[in-house]
């Protein structure tokens, strides 16, 4: 197996996002709303740039895809934790949507784990779009109490989860960076 360079710019950005997770947890625990939102914004912006730079600098790798996926799930977990500790009334109002959001992550991951024995890192166009939409939805919810857009983004996450499960169903072995289920159609080498 070829050795992958651990210290690429995209990987460093993903490691930075992972390093911000404990900071977000502490800020959420102590209900430091403003600081939490600033650090979260930095984390979310670095998420946009790590994938872009990976493609632009030709530094796309399996390791990078996995680091990005882990940073995503932990950052989104911090967002839910932030709602719980900093904005408990919003958390209570959004409880069913938050359960749906958690299930839209857990179910496709559990399915991929049961089939392939590893965490999926598809990074579909739908997942990227949902991630980009989640940031403004979260800020509109926490700063203005606007929940309609937040709820719509959660519903979109559910659609993305269904697509990821379809991708897992079609693949014969694990694969990263699948643009969509339609990119697999008619591909006789689904495993590559």
5: pLDDT strictly greater than 80 = no
Average pLDDT, rounded, for the chain: 90
3: pLDDT strictly greater than 80 = no
- In this prediction, residues 99-109 reach a mean pLDDT of 95
**Please, what is the Cα angle at 24 between 23 and 26, to 5 degrees?**
65
- Per the model's pLDDT, the better-predicted residue between 151 and 118 turns out to be 151
pLDDT for the residue numbered 4: 62
189: pLDDT strictly greater than 60 = no
Model confidence at 62, in pLDDT bands (50, 70, 90)? confident
155-167 pLDDT, tens digit per residue, is 999 999 999 999 9
pLDDT for the residue numbered 45: 92
pLDDT for the residue numbered 65: 83
Q: Count of CB atoms within 10 A of residue 119's CB? A: 14
107: pLDDT strictly greater than 50 = yes
pLDDT for the residue numbered 60: 80
19: pLDDT strictly greater than 60 = yes
- For the CA atoms of 15, 99, 134, 49, the dihedral, rounded to the nearest 10 degrees, stands at 20
* Full-model pTM: 0.87
Model confidence at 49, in pLDDT bands (50, 70, 90)? confident
As a whole-number percent, the residues of the chain with pLDDT over 90 amount to 71
């Amino acid at each position: 197996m070829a050795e992958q360079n651990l210290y690429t710019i995209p990987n460093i950005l993903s490691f930075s996002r992972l390093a911000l997770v404990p900071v977000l947890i502490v800020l959420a625990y102590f209900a430091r709303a403003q600081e939490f939102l600033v650090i979260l914004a930095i984390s979310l912006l670095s998420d946009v740039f790590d994938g872009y730079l990976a493609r632009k600098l030709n530094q796309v790798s399996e390791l990078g895809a996995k680091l990005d996926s882990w940073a995503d799930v932990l950052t989104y977990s911090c967002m839910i934790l932030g709602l719980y500790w900093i904005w408990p009334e919003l958390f209570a109002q959004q409880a069913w949507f938050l359960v749906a959001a958690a299930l839209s992550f857990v179910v496709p991951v559990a399915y991929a784990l049961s089939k392939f024995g590893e965490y999926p890192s598809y990074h579909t166009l739908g997942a990227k779009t949902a991630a980009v939409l989640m940031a403004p939805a979260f800020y509109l919810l926490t700063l203005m109490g606007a929940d309609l857009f937040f709820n719509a983004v959660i519903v979109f996450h559910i659609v993305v989860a269904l697509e990821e499960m379809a991708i897992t169903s079609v693949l014969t072995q694990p694969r990263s960076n699948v643009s969509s289920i339609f990119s697999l159609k008619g591909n006789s080498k689904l495993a590559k």
